[in-house]
Amino acid sequence: MRLSIIIPVYNVEKYVAQCLDSVLNQGLDAKDHEIIVVNDGSPDGSLKIVEGYAKKHDHIKVISKENGGLSSARNCGMEHAIGKYIYFLDSDDFLIPNCLNTIVDTCEHHDLNVLTFLSERFSSSSPKDDAILKEIKPKISLGDIKLSEIVSGEDYLANLPYRNEAWWYVINREFLEGLGIKFEEGRYLEDAAFTLGMFLEAKKMAHLNLDAHRYRDAPGSILTNREPSHYNKLIRDMQNAALAFDPIIKTLENKTTNPDCIARIKAKQQSLVFFSMMRMLKSTMSFDEVKLRMNEMIAINAFPLDSLLGKDYNGLTYQVLVRLFKTERRFYFFFRVANPVFKLRNKS
């Protein structure tokens, strides 16, 4: 079997049918791939929908488990996968038609450990938005699709497109199993350390400029949910992900590693700190906790943000904010001014 597509499902009854339809519209032979849907204890109608698909398509396998979060569901899917390659697809996202065949063919032809491809974010907050999605077509024509140079993971990180998420690449299953790594459970942003650790071990990987994936930016998602306890946990998990980068960076600095690779990883680490700081300004975190967490980032040289600006983060907004938050004292000043909870507490 060529490919295992792992789709965790939780409270996505609005979107999961579109996700599955997009996978079924890939031009793949049903005998050559499996679709592993992991129902992570979803309380809505998602399970009923995916079971309906499984009755019609023998290569769709539904596994139900107690709720354990996205990482737990992905790990469960990995344990059941038998394909030569593995792909993680979120159940509220979807694929452009007929792209996975090209991706898997490219992996097999070049015997790749990892192949990355293009993804684009879109906003979806109403049925009208979803109706528009039916008209979406790839933005790169077949004749313009090119494969990058095949390189090691370190050289890939130094020079080629790099994201933290797990849904913009396909992985050789034997390579992944040989590493013995899994997604850390119980945290958000678990993709970051998983992706980095895997990339650094790859001997043969490449980027295909194939427009393949659409990431849904929907209200109530992990990154958009503003419920205070969720929002604060997201901030903490962003900084925990930054902490996980620290021993990796130190190990690479003690080796003869491509310095551009280290600089790129530091930028990604500091991006996690930067976006956590932006969220702190609107959070219900206490000032004492903010100071504690910033001190943790200072201790691992993830703040000040002197490595952030570069290949991935270079817009005017980043340049202005990095300058504004040049020191922790400046950030604390803006926290006091901008944070609504801090202002409310001081008025009382």
Q: Which of 286, 287, 324 is nearest to 305 (CA)?
A: 324
The per-residue pLDDT for range 70-126, each reduced to its tens digit, is 999 999 999 999 999 999 999 999 999 999 999 999 999 999 999 999 999 887 654
Could you give the percent of the chain with pLDDT greater than 90?
83
The model's confidence at residue 322, banded by pLDDT at 50, 70 and 90, is: very high
Structure tokens at 239: 């900084």
pLDDT tens for each residue of 14-73:
999 999 999 999 989 999 999 999 999 999 999 999 999 999 999 999 999 999 999 999
Helix (H) or strand (E) run with residue 122 in it? strand 114-123
Render pLDDT for 208-241 as a digit per residue (tens, 0 to 9): 999 999 999 876 677 778 788 999 999 999 999 9
Half-sphere exposure (CA, 13 Å, Cβ side) for 333?
Answer: 7
Interior angle at CA 97, CA 95 and CA 102, nearest 5: 95
Question: How would residue 138 be classed by pLDDT, with cut points 50, 70 and 90?
Answer: low
Q: What is the dihedral of CA 101, 222, 278, 164, to 10 degrees?
A: -30
Task: Please give the Cα distance from 140 to 161 (Å, whole number).
Answer: 16
User: For 197-216, what is each residue's pLDDT tens digit?
Assistant: 999 999 999 999 999 999 99
- The answer to whether 268 and 312 are in contact (CB under 8 A) is yes
Distances (CA, A) of 184 to 7, 93, 191, 224, 307: 17, 22, 8, 21, 26
Structure-token match 């990987």, residue found = 205
Per-residue pLDDT, 127: 44
Task: Please report where in the chains the tokens 């295992």 appear, as a residue.
Answer: 4
Strands 114-123 and 205-217: parallel
Q: If 0-12 CB within 10 Å is exposed, 13-18 middle and 19+ buried, where does residue 5 land? A: buried
pLDDT exceeding 70 applies to what percent of the chain?
Answer: 91
Q: Is 347 exposed, middle or buried (0-12, 13-18, 19+ CB in 10 A)?
A: exposed
Q: What are phi and psi of 43, to 5 degrees?
A: -85, -10
